[in-house]
Structure formats: C-alpha cells, structure tokens
Amino acid sequence: MNHISADEVRAAILFRLQGRLTAMGIDTQNVPDDFDLLTEGVIDSQGVVEMIAAVEQGFHTQIELEDLDPEDITVIGPLCRYVAERATFNADLQTPVGKSKLA
C-alpha cells in the first residue's frame, strides 16, 4: 500500500504558500487544522484554483470537489486529509500488485 499522509500534503501546501504566510506573520509550523486559507486572506479565488491544480499535480490525483464539503475546500486540515486519502487510493490503483512504485 502506498500511503500518503495528510502531514505530507499539509507540508507541501504550506511550503507553496510559505511566502504569503510569512508576510502575514503566520508561522507555518503553527497553522491550526481549522485555518481557512481563503477567509484568512492567504489566497483568493484564483489562488484556490492554483492550489488545487498544484496539489493534483504534486500528488498525482484528481480532487473531486463534489466529494469535499464546500466549506472545507480551503480549510487546511480537512483539505489535507481528503487529498491524502485520494492520493493514497489513486497510488494504490496505479501500482501493480507485487511491484514497487520505486522499481
């Protein structure tokens, strides 16, 4: 099983947004799970689209927005857990039984 953790997704998203977060005086190590990137002004609506595209590309998965509560699309905790679950599921589907993705 190819497990992708919510912490990995979180680290990738926060790394991508590190400049904006730092400029706002937000320490990326202390971003709570209920932190909403949109309502806190870290990203705007275009930023949401860009973030989703980057996450899909970085974790080789497709985010099905209808599967995610609309209020959670920009909330770091629920978003990261959803992406990790989808990416792990998709990675498992793409890895033939008995073969490592690293081979």
**The domain defined by 6-94 carries CATH number 1.10.1200.10:** yes
More confident residue, 21 or 66: 21
Q: What share of the chain is helix, strand, coil (3-state, %, to 5)?
A: 55, 0, 40
CA dihedral 38, 53, 91, 6 (to 10 degrees): -20
- Residues 48-78 pLDDT 10s: 999 999 999 998 888 888 888 888 999 999 9
For 36, which DSSP code? Answer: B
Higher pLDDT: 55 or 102? It is 55
Which tens digits make up the pLDDT trace of 3-17?
889 999 999 999 999
Q: What percent of the chain has pLDDT over 70?
A: 84
